[in-house]
């Protein structure tokens, strides 16, 4: 039996590199001068701070550009609400989600069962979904099916075994 795992992961080092690049850019850009703009990074939660909502939108664009350049999918990035902070500043929490939630896992399993080739089975194993089948071509068809579907989360396929 051939198999592979469907996972939703992010390279934490690439997130850190993207944040470092964004911080360097906002330190040198003229439109961020005297705005006290900053990006705080704790694991997979970023806090964007600046003086106004339009500067926050520009800061958000810089962060998004750097994440995309470093290969981090924006499907897993969730922007929180804009909050008023101290000294007439605004802040926004940015959360990078990893793992496949239980409801998404059920949706993926149902999609594989309904639209996938016959003889393919899938089961949830923690934050991953194991897909098994007899033919390699059927498994590749499932990968193509999942890549074509818009599930709202970034998917990676690993541990492909014959």
User: Once rounded to an integer, what is the mean pLDDT over residues 119-134?
Assistant: 91
Q: How many other C-beta atoms lie within 10 A of the C-beta of residue 113?
A: 11
Domain boundaries defined on the chain? 2-8+100-161, 12-96
Decide whether 2-8+100-161 matches 12-96 in CATH topology: yes
User: Once rounded to an integer, what is the mean pLDDT over residues 66-71?
Assistant: 94
Residue 52 above 90 pLDDT? no
User: Once rounded to an integer, what is the mean pLDDT over residues 104-114?
Assistant: 92
Rounded distance between C-alpha atoms, residue 92 and residue 99, angstroms: 23
Rounded distance between C-alpha atoms, residue 72 and residue 12, angstroms: 9
Residue 88 above 90 pLDDT? no
User: Once rounded to an integer, what is the mean pLDDT over residues 24-48?
Assistant: 91
At residue 69, the pLDDT reads 95
- Residue 72 CA, distance from chain mean position: 6
Rounded distance between C-alpha atoms, residue 147 and residue 4, angstroms: 14
Share of the chain above pLDDT 70, in %: 100
CATH of region 2-8+100-161: 3.30.70.860
- Residue 141 CA, distance from chain mean position: 24
SS3 string, the chain, reads CEEEEEECCCCHHHHHHHHHHHHHHHHHCHHHCCCCCEEEEECCEEEEEECCHHHHHHHHHHHHHHHHHCCCCHHHEEEEEEEEECCCEEEEEEEECCCCCHHHHHHHHHHHHHHCCCCCEEEEECCEEEEEECCHHHHHHHHHHHHHCCCCCCCEEEEEEC
CATH of region 12-96: 3.30.70.990
At residue 150, the pLDDT reads 85
Residue 36 above 90 pLDDT? no
Rounded distance between C-alpha atoms, residue 132 and residue 120, angstroms: 6
């Amino acid at each position: 039996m051939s198999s592979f795992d469907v996972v939703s992961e992010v390279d934490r080092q690439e997130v850190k590199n993207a944040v470092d690049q964004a911080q360097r850019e906002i330190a040198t850009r003229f439109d961020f001068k005297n705005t006290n703009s900053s990006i705080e990074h704790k694991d997979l939660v970023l806090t964007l701070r600046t003086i106004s909502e339009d500067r926050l939108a520009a800061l958000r664009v810089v962060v998004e550009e750097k994440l995309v350049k470093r290969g981090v999918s924006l499907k897993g990035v969730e922007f929180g609400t804009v909050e008023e902070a101290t000294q007439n500043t605004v802040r926004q929490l940015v959360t990078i989600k990893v793992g496949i939630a239980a409801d998404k896992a059920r949706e993926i399993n149902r999609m594989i069962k309904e639209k996938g080739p016959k003889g393919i089975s899938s089961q949830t194993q923690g934050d991953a979904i194991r897909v098994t089948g007899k033919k390699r071509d059927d498994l590749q068809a499932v990968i193509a099916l999942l890549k074509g579907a818009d599930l709202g989360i970034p998917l990676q396929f690993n541990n492909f075994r014959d």
